[in-house]
C-alpha cells in the first residue's frame, strides 16, 4: 500500500514539474548528420518544403518557432509559413527571416483550419543551397 501511494505521489509530482506546452508542438525532424554526429533538420533552396505536416492546430493566434541551432550557411530569407493541411492554401502570415537562435518567431494565423502543414523556405532557388537547424514548433 505504501508503495502504491508513493508511486502515485511521485507521478503527481512529476506531472506538476513538467512544463505545459501552449499548443500542439514538437521538435523538427532531423535528416542531416553533422560532422560531430549530431542530427539536425535541413531546408534546401527552391520551392518551400513541408517540414512537418498534418499537425493539429492548437495555438489560437500564431504559429511559433524557436530555434536552438542554426547554420544559415550564407543563405538568406529563411522563413516558415502555415498551410491548411492537404492543400496549398496559406493559413498564416510568413514569418520574419530567421537569423538568430534565442528568438521565438511568431507568424499570425489568417485562418483556423483543424490541421496545419508547416513549410519552410530560403531565398535561393538552388537545391545545392541549404540551411541547417534544430528547434521546436508550436502549432
Partner 1 sequence: MKKLFGLFLCFIAVLLIGCSNNDIAKNNNETVASSPSVIIESPSFDTAMDEPNIEHIMLTAEEQEYIRWDNALLSDSPDTFSGVIVDKKVFSDDDYKTIISTLVGSQWTIVQNYEMSKSELAKLIQKIEYNREHCDFSKDLITNDGLKDFQVQEKKAPELSAYQVIEDITSLPSGQFVSFTLLTADEDHPYVVIKRGENDFYFYRSETLNVQSESFLNALLHSTSSKHERAFFEWLLPTEPTITREAAMQEADSIISELHIPMKVKSIEPCTILTNYVERTEGWRIVYARNINGFFDPFDIESFGIADFAPPQKAAPWSRENCTIVIDEKGIASFTWLGASTQSTYCPERRIPAFSEVQPLITRQLFTLNETNLVREGFYRIVDISSVNVAVALLSTDQPDVGEYIPIWVVYYRSKWNDDSDIPENWQTGVIAFSMYNGQYVEPRITERKLSFELGGDR
Does residue 42 belong to the site contacting partner 1 (CB under 8 A)?
no
**Binding residue (CB under 8 A) for partner 1 from 91, 116, 132, 139:** 91
Residue 107 CA to residue 84 CA, distance in Å, equals 14
Tell me whether residue 42 or residue 113 sits nearer to partner 1 (CB atom): 113
Stretch that binds partner 1, among 27-35, 36-44, 58-66 (CB under 8 A): 58-66
Q: Which residues of 15-53 are buried (b: 16+ CB within 10 A; e: fewer)?
A: eeeeeeeebebeebeeeeeeeeeeebbbbbbeebeebbe
The length of the chain, given as a count of residues: 139
The interface region with partner 1, picked from 26-34, 36-44, 59-67 by CB under 8 A, is 59-67
- The alpha carbon of residue 19 and the mean position of all alpha carbons in its chain are separated, in whole angstroms, by 17
Q: Are 51 and 136 in contact (CB under 8 A)?
A: no
Contacts to partner 1 by CB under 8 A: 1-2, 5-6, 8-9, 12-13, 16, 19-20, 22, 47-48, 58, 60-61, 64, 66, 70-72, 76-77, 79, 84-91, 93-97, 99-108, 110-114, 123, 125
Amino acid at each position: 500500500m505504501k508503495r502504491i501511494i508513493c508511486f502515485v505521489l511521485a507521478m503527481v509530482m512529476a506531472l506538476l514539474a513538467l512544463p505545459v506546452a501552449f499548443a500542439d508542438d514538437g521538435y523538427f525532424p532531423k535528416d542531416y548528420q553533422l560532422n560531430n554526429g549530431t542530427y539536425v533538420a535541413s531546408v534546401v533552396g527552391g520551392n518551400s518544403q513541408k517540414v512537418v505536416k498534418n499537425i493539429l492546430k492548437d495555438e489560437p493566434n500564431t504559429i511559433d518557432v524557436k530555434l536552438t541551432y542554426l547554420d544559415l550557411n550564407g543563405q538568406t530569407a529563411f522563413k516558415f509559413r502555415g498551410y491548411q493541411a492537404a492543400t496549398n492554401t496559406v493559413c498564416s502570415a510568413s514569418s520574419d527571416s530567421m537569423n538568430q537562435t534565442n528568438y521565438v518567431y511568431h507568424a499570425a494565423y489568417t485562418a483556423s483550419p483543424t490541421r496545419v502543414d508547416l513549410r519552410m523556405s530560403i531565398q535561393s532557388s538552388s537545391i545545392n543551397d541549404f540551411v541547417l537547424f534544430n528547434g521546436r514548433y508550436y502549432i
